[in-house]
Amino acid sequence: MPSNTTAPPAKKKGRRARLIVLVLVLALVAGIGYGGYWGVSTVRSSFPQTTGTIRIDKLSSPVEVKRDANGIPQIYADNEADLFRAQGYVQAQDRFYEMDVRRHMTAGRLSEMFGKSQVDTDAFLRTLGWRRVAQQEYDKVLSAETKKNLQAYAEGVNAYLEDRDPADVSVEYAALAFTNDYAIEPWTPVDSVAWLKAMAWDLRGNMQDEIDRSLMTSRLTAQQVKDLYPGYPYELHQPIVSQGAVDKITGKFDPDAKAGGSGARTNGGAADALTGTQSQLAALSDALDGIPALLGPNGNGIGSNSWVVGGDYTTSGKPLLANDPHLAPMLPSLWYQMGLHCRSVSATCRYDVAGYTFSGMPGVIIGHNDSIAWGFTNLGADVTDLYLEKVGDDGYVVDGKVKPFTVRDEIIKVAGGGDRKITIRSTDNGPLLSDRSSDLEKVGQKAPVGNAAPDRGTGYGVSLRWTALQPGKSMDAVFELNRAKDFKTFRAAAEHFEVPSQNLIYADTAGHIGYQAPGRIPVRAKGYDGTLPAPGWDSSYDWKGYIPFDELPYEYDPKRGYIVTANQSVIDEKKYPYLLTRDWGYGSRSQRINDLIESKTKDGGKISPDDMQTMQMDNRSEIATLLNPLLLKIDISDPYVREAQKLLEGWDYTQEPDSAAAAYFNAVWRNVLKLGFGDKLPKELRVEGECINVRAADATGPVDEQNKLVRECGERDPDTAQPDGGDRWYEVVRPLLKQEKNDWWKTPGDRLNAPTETRDQLLAQAMKDARWELTAKLGKDVTTWSWGRLHQLTLKNQTLGTAGPGVVQSLLNRGPWNLGGGEAAVDATGWNAAGGYDVIWVPSMRMVVNVGDWDRSRWINLTGASGHAYNSHYTDQTDKWAKGELLDWAYGRAAVDTAAKDTLTLQP
């Protein structure tokens, strides 16, 4: 599942003077030089009070807040309203600046904090309308009970803010005060709800793939594009649900039913469907790159691992459940650990829950109560479609008729500048994203569409249809999950978790395990599968509704005794009547977890909590098992390259931080992808600033004086460029390894290297290039190489720590850490092969839940409880996280009391 929670100012231009001020302020804050006394007092003034008594007017009875040695709070209250008031107060103590920046982002109001550099981002976010939809949910959809909880939470946040100067809330406000008259506003319930929209945005499915496939058509044939998006390998990697079907009589999914029918209904289309679109779709891709990635780079990498093992196969005799969401590294971590406990659980106070939540949102997202445990991974359902729209001054064309736009104006307030007015137009398909870019206005100008397309004029607009732009009940689902007592109530909660669509795994104290695929997933018309932009002028491409919840796949106590979800296919598409997506994760991680469980439980073996923890740190490279044997067979004559090749002899494919073999192999893999694929992709997909000589896209015939090679430079952000090296690329390369003379192995060469014609020639060239690359990065002596020196994690404060002079970053950021693991490994410390080796997503937390014996559960966060840069809990869990260690997770009152280091009483 749920890789950044807060948005950095996007550009440095025009901010030099302001940054100089920030450097001075932050130097004082850090206690440097003559500002030492003032700096220390400023820092400490924003640290939370964690002992003694604080009076809060809104409370009806006393609340205890017990923090352990890592500052993780457990809250005890007599009623639900006080429980959520205290949650709001405590999270604001530790994380309010993060919460404040996040709500400004979800509302498209970053310019109010960071000035004119954020106007374009705000305009795009206003066009999406997250905050508007969140307001509609609160006003018209959410239950009265949920709204009471949200209001209580907001009261707690505001109780903390009351009569505090901004500098006493967080040190970043002291810096902002020098350049901005920004004032903190009260927290509202809708601020909490809007966060779910932001989370859904980063887990929206295949939107980037839809754009990339279209961009590829400027350079590649339809068959080549198909080569780069192979089907899911069901014969190699089992889906989550291995059996079951929609029963023809009841119309409901039955886990025990046998599949029938002719396979998935492809959803959507007409005979003149789009076969691609022109490279100007890159303007949309650039706009998307400019939107803060709250959870991480969207695409194949963002995901998670979760699995649950039934008691028949565990040493405890009760289920064990593990979860580790893979998200972008950020500081503070996306997650906030805490417990919410009614002192006496009753009909009027029903919560006794602990786990991971988001600062700014009440309840617990992932965790357990006294009866059940649950975890999330991203299902990856295709819940977005881009539509090309024939637009004019009067409206847009649908079925030959002009319809008027839905129009609204919004004002963007800008710190240090004048207000900006924007006009937002929407079609029936959704907001017109192309209005946010002059380049996007020409999207579709060269799109190869069928004869039924209208005259494109100066081009088509681009609109977005997305399930999250309709009000839903996901906030209701959070509280319902927290209170669920069995699989029936768990599924009832899952039905309301509409966006983002997640894989939910389950275990309970009665020994049952289960899985549910929830979410609002569209049904498209026959023939259209959502992999390319659709023609908005043809209503036959409209969505036809949503898959009924009763027909979504689930499992309950499967015979195999365990369930694994790691973003692989949910169910074999040939056995299921609906199309969930064409763009699954390709199952390398999930199959590895399946294999580890099966190897441990064969011949009567049992799995322990220690085994679950060890599995989470498994770092085996699956692509190495295919490619390494071929690399060792290459006859290398250059002794310098041969020296590196020898590192691969006897390597067991593990990617430990100190492994020289892992460093060299991953460098070879990166260069194989660059030579075989990367240099053949259009500039819109390649890394920004990397330039190559290519044939002009519109050239015909052989290269000559009229059709010369042109210099083309990449345009994509390094974290989202292609080929990214994820397990989709494993499946691209897998069949090619058996085709020694496939055209993908051919390269033109350059002044230093001869062209390649075969697989082995390209592999040899990649080994040579990798040797020289690592020599430059790690030195000549291969015995000193290590994967961790290449593969580093730096934790960055998500506002001031991502821009400006190095002194600012050194004050707010932490690291680097040398990590093991890798792309598509179970220990998914992801990196983008096109962009480099730095870690761009991580297991953002890890937990192993010992169901029923809750106090023997374990957990860890990426950073720590605090968002205050110099607090002792800022990154106090990171070293243990990097080593794969877990903390003891106290849940019962006796265990919490024993672990408590600080106790704070909130008094009416």
Tokens for 194, please give them.
């809007």
Closest to 115 in 3D by CA, of 389, 395, 417 = 417
Distance CA 534, CA 291 (A): 23
- Predicted local distance difference test score (pLDDT) of residue 439: 47
pLDDT at 19: 44
* Per-position b or e across 189-227, b if 16+ CB within 10 A of its CB: bbbbbbbbbbbbbbbbbbbbbbbbbbbbbbbbeeeebeb
pLDDT at 707 over 90: no
Neighbouring C-alpha atoms within 13 Å toward the C-beta of 396: 27
Mean pLDDT for the stretch of residues 345-368: 97
Query: Does residue 521 have a pLDDT over 70?
Result: yes
211 versus 848: the higher-pLDDT residue is 848
Please tell me the pTM assigned to this model: 0.92
Q: What is the DSSP string of 726-789?
A: SHHHHHHHHHHTT-TT-GGG-B---SSS--B-SHHHHHHHHHHHHHHHHHHHH-S-GGG--HHH
Q: What is the residue whose two structure tokens read 């932050």? A: 26
Is the pLDDT at 470 greater than 80? The verdict is yes
Q: What was the pLDDT predicted at 203?
A: 77
Amino acid at 589: R
Q: What is the pLDDT of residue 750?
A: 82
What residues does 465 pair with on adjacent strands? 385
pLDDT computed for residue 438 by the predictor: 54
CA distance 828 to 849: 20
**292 φ/ψ angles, rounded to the nearest 5 degrees:** -55, 125
Which DSSP symbol is given to 492? H
Residue 295 in 3-state DSSP? coil
Query: Is pLDDT of 202 > 50?
Result: yes
In this prediction, residue 394 carries a pLDDT of 87
Q: How many CA atoms lie within 13 A of 890 on its CB side?
A: 19
Segment among 142-146, 202-206, 603-607 with least mean pLDDT = 202-206
Tell me, what's the pLDDT at 14?
35
Nearest to 904 by CA among 337, 93, 80: 93
Transcribe 225-247 into DSSP letters. Answer: HHHHSPPP-TTTS--S--S-EE-
Least confident range of 17-21, 255-259, 413-417, 464-468: 17-21
pLDDT at 272: 36
In DSSP terms, 846 is beta-bridged to 860
Compute the average pLDDT of residues 256-261.
73
The residue among 294, 291, 289 whose CA lies nearest residue 98 is 294
pLDDT surpasses 90 at 482: yes
CB atoms within 10 A of CB 730: 24
Helical pair 36-45 and 16-29, crossing angle rounded to 10 deg:
90
The predicted pLDDT at position 284 comes to 64
Nearest CA among 353, 348, 385 for reference residue 369: 353
pLDDT band at 172 (very low <50, low <70, confident <90, very high): confident
Cis peptide before 548 (omega within 30 of 0): no
pLDDT for position 6 = 34
Spatial distance between the Cα atoms of 194 and 858, rounded to a whole number of angstroms = 31
CA distances 548 to 5, 252, 553, 588, 849, Å, are: 32, 9, 11, 30, 31
Q: Tell whether omega for the bond before 908 is within 30 degrees of 0, i.e. cis.
A: no
Percent of the chain whose pLDDT exceeds 90 = 72
Q: What pLDDT, on the 0 to 100 scale, is given for residue 453?
A: 60
Dist. CA 333–CA 644, nearest whole Å: 38
| From 202-211, 244-253, 266-275, 665-674, the region with the lowest mean pLDDT | 266-275
- pLDDT digits 0-9 by tens, 385-440: 989 898 888 899 999 999 999 999 999 999 988 999 999 999 999 999 888 865 44
Structure tokens at 715: 């345009």
pLDDT of residue 450: 55
How confident is the model over 103-145, as pLDDT tens digits? 999 999 999 998 998 898 899 999 999 999 999 999 999 999 9
Asked if 315 contacts 604 with a C-beta cutoff of 8 angstroms, the reply is no
Highest mean pLDDT among 30-39, 457-466, 573-582, 616-625: 616-625
- pLDDT (tens digit per residue) in 746-780: 999 887 889 999 999 999 999 999 999 999 999 99
Alpha-helix runs per DSSP H in 265-363: 282-290
Phi then psi dihedrals of residue 396, to 5 deg: -135, 155
In angstroms, the CA 602 to CA 579 distance is 35
Dist. CA 233–CA 847, nearest whole Å: 29
Q: Which of 52-61, 164-173, 613-622, 848-857 has the lowest mean pLDDT?
A: 164-173
C-alpha 275: how far from its chain's center? 29
Task: Please confirm whether the linkage preceding 500 is cis (ω < 30° from 0).
Answer: yes
The larger pLDDT score, comparing residue 208 to residue 309, is at 309
Under a CB-based contact definition with an 8 Å cutoff, are residues 425 and 432 in contact? yes
For 358-383, the pLDDT digits (tens) are 999 999 999 999 999 999 999 999 99
- DSSP letter assigned to residue 861: E
Question: Would you state the pLDDT for residue 302?
Answer: 61
Kindly state the average pLDDT of the residues 532-553: 94
> Mean pLDDT, to the nearest integer, of 431-451?
62
Average pLDDT, the chain: 88
pLDDT beyond 80 at 629: yes
| Average pLDDT value for residue range 461-476 | 94
Q: What are phi and psi of 451, to 5 degrees?
A: -65, -20
- Rounded CA separation 574/260 (Å): 9
Residue 340 has pLDDT above 80, yes or no: yes
Q: Phi and psi at residue 315, in whole multiples of 5°?
A: -70, -25
Instruction: Tell me: pLDDT of 37 over 60.
Output: no
